[in-house]
């Protein structure tokens, strides 16, 4: 009789263990927790400004309405002011609006949007065009991560809807500590990057991070494998991406 009850107990433990192993998080659950950890609703409404290298950026967001801008002085000493908003893109030079061909408008729009996009990640990972896929677990620098792949629907995915991203979210802190992506080079080839988040700090209720930017000299390179290449020390550092003079404020009324 004792043997029977012992067998039942062992079977019960095995069934419970198997059930726990099957309860993997979904990509949506992982992203939702990451957005909450990085700022949550703070992203939806307010004004964020920062400096990246020689340009000043400003992001005004009001529950779907947005005005993104950058200001800088060009090589000739002229003051350039770019504005991207829901209605389109404009550029002024020395306070005079200039006419631009559509190709240049798209290029400048993408440039402004890209900087704001990366600075405010992971907030945009719940946009309607985003498609998320859970890739499993990974370990980087001895820490446990969930790996999520992001692609974009063509409708609403923007000019770069064919780009792919992979994100590594810490399993306990829920922070987005690493990301990789591919992009199309000017010559039509595919380039890849891997970013390691550093200097995480909270300002105005939002988590901001700087990044160390890496690439692989192996081409073509699958971005899903960047965690393994990073752990093996096979990546080449490209640059540092540091956000400076960060300010977070309320909408002007």
Strand-strand pairing, 143-152 and 206-215: unpaired
Q: Which is it for the CA torsion 164, 241, 245, 34, positive or negative?
A: positive
26-249 adopts what CATH topology? outer membrane lipoprotein receptor (LolB), chain A (2.50.20)
CA distance 209 to 229: 22
Q: Please tell me the predicted confidence (pLDDT) of residue 10.
A: 52
Burial class from Cβ neighbours inside 10 Å (0-12, 13-18, 19+) for residue 11 reads exposed
CA distance 14 to 133: 29
Q: Please tell me the predicted confidence (pLDDT) of residue 217.
A: 86
Q: Which is it for the CA torsion 43, 45, 50, 56, positive or negative?
A: positive
Question: What is the pTM assigned to this prediction?
Answer: 0.87
What would the pLDDT profile of 157-210 be if each residue is shown by its tens digit?
455 567 899 999 999 999 999 999 998 877 777 889 999 999 999 999 999 999
Q: State percent of the chain over pLDDT 90.
A: 79
Domains in the chain: boundaries: 26-249
What would the pLDDT profile of 89-113 be if each residue is shown by its tens digit?
999 999 999 999 999 999 999 999 9
């Amino acid at each position: 009789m004792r043997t029977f009850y012992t067998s039942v107990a062992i079977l019960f433990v095995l069934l419970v263990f198997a059930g726990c192993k099957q309860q993997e998080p979904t990509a949506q659950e992982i992203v939702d927790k990451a957005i909450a950890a990085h700022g949550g609703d703070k992203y939806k409404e307010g004004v964020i400004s920062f400096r990246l290298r020689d340009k000043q950026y400003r992001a005004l967001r009001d529950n779907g309405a947005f005005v993104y801008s950058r200001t800088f002085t060009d090589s000739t000493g002229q003051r350039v002011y770019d504005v991207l908003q829901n209605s389109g893109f404009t550029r002024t030079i020395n306070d005079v609006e200039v006419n631009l061909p559509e190709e240049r408008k798209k290029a400048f729009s993408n440039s402004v949007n890209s900087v704001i996009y990366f600075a405010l990640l992971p907030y945009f990972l719940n946009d309607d065009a985003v498609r998320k896929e859970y890739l499993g677990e990974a370990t980087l620098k001895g820490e446990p991560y969930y790996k999520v792949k992001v692609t974009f629907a063509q409708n609403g995915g923007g000019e770069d809807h064919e780009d792919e991203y992979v994100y590594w979210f810490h399993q306990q802190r829920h922070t987005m500590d690493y990301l990789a992506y591919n992009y199309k080079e000017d010559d039509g080839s595919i380039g890849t990057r891997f970013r390691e988040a550093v200097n995480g700090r909270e300002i105005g209720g939002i988590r901001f991070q700087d990044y160390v930017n890496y690439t692989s000299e192996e081409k073509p390179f699958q971005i899903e494998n960047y965690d393994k290449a990073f752990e093996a020390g096979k990546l080449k550092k490209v640059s540092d991406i540091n956000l400076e003079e960060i300010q977070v404020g309320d909408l002007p009324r």
